[in-house]
Chains A and B, each alone.
Chain A
Amino acid sequence: MLKEKVAFREPTIQLAHGAGGKASRRLIEGLLVPYLNVKELNDAAYVQADQTKIAFTADSFVVNPLRFPGGSIGELAINGTVNDIAMGGAKPLAIVTTLIIEAGLETEILESEIKAMHEAAEKANVAIVGGDTKVVEHQKADKLFITTAGIGLVDPRVNLSASRVKKGDKIILSGPIGDHGITILFARGDLDLEADIKSDTRSVWPFVSKLINAAAPGLKWMRDPTRGGMATALNELARDAQVAIMLEEEAIKVHPEVRGACEILGLDPMHIANEGQFIAVVSEEYAQDALKAIQQVPGGEQAAIIGEVFESDRHIVLSRSSYGGTRAIDMLVGDPLPRIC
């Protein structure tokens, strides 16, 4: 018995449905949620096991190329799931992984990815406790697909819910945006452009754990802006919390190389994927403590308060420039495409 109607009526699944923007949202909310009866759409789900609250999540990684400046698919696979657990306010405990391998893949490549997963897990202090392996025919998978599923122990001090987000709450961003997506774009080699940029893939748990210690009562919501970028994450917040958001453009840090690449290609850093950053919504009262806590962890120095929640009938995300002009930040439909002129 379906609790919600199936609203998804598109006849086929397209690439846009996987890009993390509006089309993805339509697929998930319109087809998957009604059947799977998922109660809340967050980075990690909560499962109550007697007295213990567990965060539970899964993610798949289909990145091309497999290796790129700053990391590889194996590292992403571990950090991605670790981060989703962290976004649930939980300490990452254990991960299982499935590998779908295209027949013909050089063993050397698989080995370097397993090694990368091992190193990332050690660094993130999480155990890889099992998994599954499948090999499919040549051309039935693009070299290597990895899925990781993880569990974590939810910190009892934490109560995360979009419904708690209110007018006056501050939006904190952990660091510069756009590095990962632009790195992948360049690494594909389709564009004749090079830059000194690398993926920002890392576990954000060290920052989140200090943030919880310093500001748990005021911590209301967190998300890591992966596919679809900041624009998707913030628009989902606005919608789920039924609020509006005003960002200060100058406060959002973007590395000059990323900014340059975006200017040349006509892309907006707000739509680009990140793999080592997160957004936290914290009450005004706790915002400064929260910020300081993140900044004091190595790698968190560039964290900043980038905006504020306000009330409005329209659940929108706006960004104010240094000269007072505001623009709307909307979710993309599909992947960001470079502009021509």
Chain B
Amino acid sequence: MKMRYIDEFRNPDLIKKTLEEIERIVEPDDHFRIMEACGGHTYSIFHFGLQELLPKNIEFIHGPGCPVCVLPPGRVDEGLEIASKNSEVIFTAFGDVMRVPGKKGSPLNHKAMGTDVRMIYSPLDALNIAIKNPDKKVILFAIGFETTAPSTAITVLKAKELDIDNFFVYSNHVKIIPVLKSILDQPNMRIDGFIGPGHASVIIGAHPYEIIAKEYKKPVVISGFEPLDILQSILMLIKQLKSGESKVEIQYKRVVMEEGNVSALEIIDQVFEDRPAFEWRGLGAIQNSALKLKPEFAKWDAEVHFNVEKIHIEENKDAQCGEILKGMLKPNQCKLFGKVCTPDNPVGALMVSSEGACATYYNHLYSTMSS
């Protein structure tokens, strides 16, 4: 039975044809360094075995588009501190956050020890928990790029509409363009082009990437996540690179519009404002790169309501998460990779999240025959 939007984009014949076309236009001396910004793309490339099917002239630089991976180490601890110190607090977060290692363990570890930690699939689930438990305080540990910010925003508006006063957002939403620019501004950065995030672009559209194409002269192709999507995007990127062009193209036309999702953008604007600076794991502080609730929504802002002591965690000096996030090192080149830092015992979030470059490499390199 065919699954729409999945099977057409996994069609073996079309995949083979696209691969052949890529092979036809790539010349022996070509070396293309392509950054796939989004963790979902890193995952897909390895999950579908694309990196072994593509010519070796194409090198993937794994980008920072994994909102779990770039979370500064102290943030999870801050959220968990509130929950573990106050028995009336329920800590809620998406699945990806559950295993992020905090100073005293991950949210799952805390859950096993009795802290009320619950996994949710949608921010509205967290609001529902608050409604069902009026004597408790529910914290939504909100993470994600612009992809998930609108749903958090809608939930805050809903909380306001229903006058729910026991629901709070601990916002770790971040923005994709500032971090890509920050990477491009690094000295010795050699990236030829970008596979643009698929789902963040559903929200922000294609226009914000113009600055990368026009000022940094790097082509951007916004891609879907199925094998055919990624291969088609690579083909489009290589065609631009071969002809010296640098423009923003949308391959993921079935869900990404040029102008993005205007109502989603409006809702983000209504509820959130930029933080002057936000510390990114491994990348340092980047200005105007993260979102916090506007003052008029302070009532639902966990950072206002709870006295959250900032927890700054010194990163393991040998961990090279930053260099990997910047695309300067491949995961297996980090000193700790596979020895000290493994999915069983992750030092950094790149090894925890299934979309983190390190976890992907570990699950692949340590498992497959080809290397």
Given A16-B108, A341-B40, also A325-B52 (CB < 8 A): yes
Q: Mark A166-179, 1 if CB is under 8 A from B, else 0.
A: 00000000000000
**For the complex, is B278 an interface residue (Cβ under 8 Å from A)?**
no
Residue of A nearest to B11 (CB): A323
Q: List 21 A-B contacts (CB under 8 A).
A: A15-B108, A15-B112, A16-B108, A26-B344, A191-B121, A316-B367, A316-B368, A324-B53, A325-B48, A325-B50, A327-B46, A327-B48, A327-B368, A330-B363, A333-B344, A334-B99, A338-B119, A339-B96, A340-B94, A341-B144, A341-B199
Tell me if B95 and A340 are in contact (CB < 8 A): yes
Query: Which residue from B6, B68, B344 sits with its C-beta under 8 Å from A22?
Result: B344
Set of chain A residues within 8 Å of B108, measured between Cβ atoms: 14-16, 334
Given contacts A192-B122, A333-B344, A339-B355, contact A327 B364 (CB under 8 A): yes
Contacts of A279 in B (CB 8 A): none
Bound-state Cα–Cα, A224 to B124, Å: 37
Could you say which of A15, A191, A323, A330 contacts B10, with CB atoms under 8 Å apart?
A: A323
Could you tell me the distance between the alpha carbons of A341 and B143 in the complex, rounded to whole angstroms? 10
CA distance A107 to B122 in the complex (A): 36
At the interface, yes or no: A292 with Cβ under 8 Å from chain B? Answer: no
* B120 neighbours in A (Cβ, 8 Å): 190
Q: How distant is B139 from chain A, measured CB to nearest CB, in Å? A: 17
A contact residues, total (Cβ < 8 Å)? 40
A109 to B368, alpha carbons, bound, how many Å? 48
Interface of A is mostly: loop
Contact of A327 among B49, B67, B99 (CB under 8 A): B49
Task: Flag if A263 contacts B363 (CB, 8 Å).
Answer: no
CA distance A265 to B95 in the complex (A): 10
In the assembled complex, how far is the CB of residue B8 from the closest CB belonging to chain A, in whole angstroms? 13
Chain B residue nearest in CB terms to A244: B369
Tell me the bound Cα distance from A330 to B343 in angstroms: 11
Chain A CB within 8 A of B84 CB? no
Q: Which residues of A contact B125 (CB under 8 A)?
A: 190-192
State which residues 1-23 of A face B: CB under 8 Å: 12, 14-16, 22-23
Smallest beta-carbon distance B245→chain A, Å: 29
Q: Is residue A314 contacting chain B, with contact meaning CB distance below 8 A?
A: yes
Task: Assess A337 versus B48: contact at CB under 8 Å? Given A256-B3, A316-B368.
Answer: no
Task: Encode contact with A along B228-261: 1 for CB under 8 Å, 0 otherwise.
Answer: 0000000000000000000000000000000000
Contact between chains at A323 and B96 (CB < 8 Å): no
How many contacts between A and B, using CB within 8 angstroms? 119
List the 9 shortest-distance A-B pairs measured between CB atoms, nearest first: A325-B49, A328-B367, A337-B95, A323-B12, A340-B94, A323-B15, A338-B95, A322-B12, A340-B96
> 1/0 per position for B1-45, CB-CB distance to A under 8 A?
101001000101001100000000000000000000001100000
Identity of the chain B residue whose Cβ is nearest the Cβ of A322 in the assembled complex: B12
Q: Which residue from A317, A330, A340 sits with its C-beta under 8 Å from B143?
A: A340
Are B3 and A260 in contact (CB-based, < 8 A)? Answer: yes
- Does chain A have a CB within 8 A of B358? no
> Would you call A85 an interface residue if the criterion is a C-beta within 8 Å of the partner chain's C-beta atoms?
no
Chain A residues with CB under 8 Å of chain B are 12, 14-16, 22-23, 26, 190-193, 244, 256, 259-260, 263, 265-266, 312, 314, 316-318, 321-330, 333-334, 337-341
Q: Which of B40, B122, B369 contacts A314 (CB 8 A)?
A: B369
A23 to B119, CA, bound (A): 20
Q: Report Cα–Cα, A276/B355, bound state, in Å.
A: 31
- Does B227 have its Cβ within 8 Å of any Cβ on chain A? yes
When distances are taken between beta carbons in the complex, the residues of chain A under 8 Å from B10 are 321-323
B344 close to A340 (CB less than 8 A): no
Partner among B46, B111, B363, B366 whose Cβ is within 8 Å of the Cβ of A15? B111
Alpha-carbon gap, A318 to B368, bound state (A): 7
A328/B199 contact (C-beta < 8 A), A23-B344, A190-B125, A341-B148 known: no
Is B335 interfacial (CB-CB < 8 Å)?
A: no
Residues of chain B lying within 8 A (CB to CB) of residue A15: 108, 111-112
- Which chain B residue shows the least CB distance to A318? B368
- CB contacts (< 8 Å) of B112 on chain A: these are 12, 14-15
- Which residue of chain B lies nearest to A265 when distances are taken between CB atoms in the complex? B121
- Given A263-B6, A314-B369, A340-B96; A14-B343 close (CB under 8 Å): no
A26 to B343, CA, bound (A): 14
Whole-angstrom distance between the Cβ of B29 and the nearest chain A Cβ:
26
B282 CB to closest chain A CB, in angstroms? 20
- For B39, the closest partner residue in chain A by CB is A341
* Shortest distance between the CB of B362 and any CB in chain A (Å): 9
Distance in Å from the Cβ of A233 to the closest Cβ of chain B?
Answer: 16
How many whole Å from B60's CB to the nearest CB in chain A?
A: 15
* CB closest chain-B residue, reference A315: B367
Chain B nearest CB from A19 CB (Å) reads: 10
Q: B98 on the interface (CB 8 Å rule)?
A: yes
| C-alpha gap A190/B132 in the complex (Å) | 13
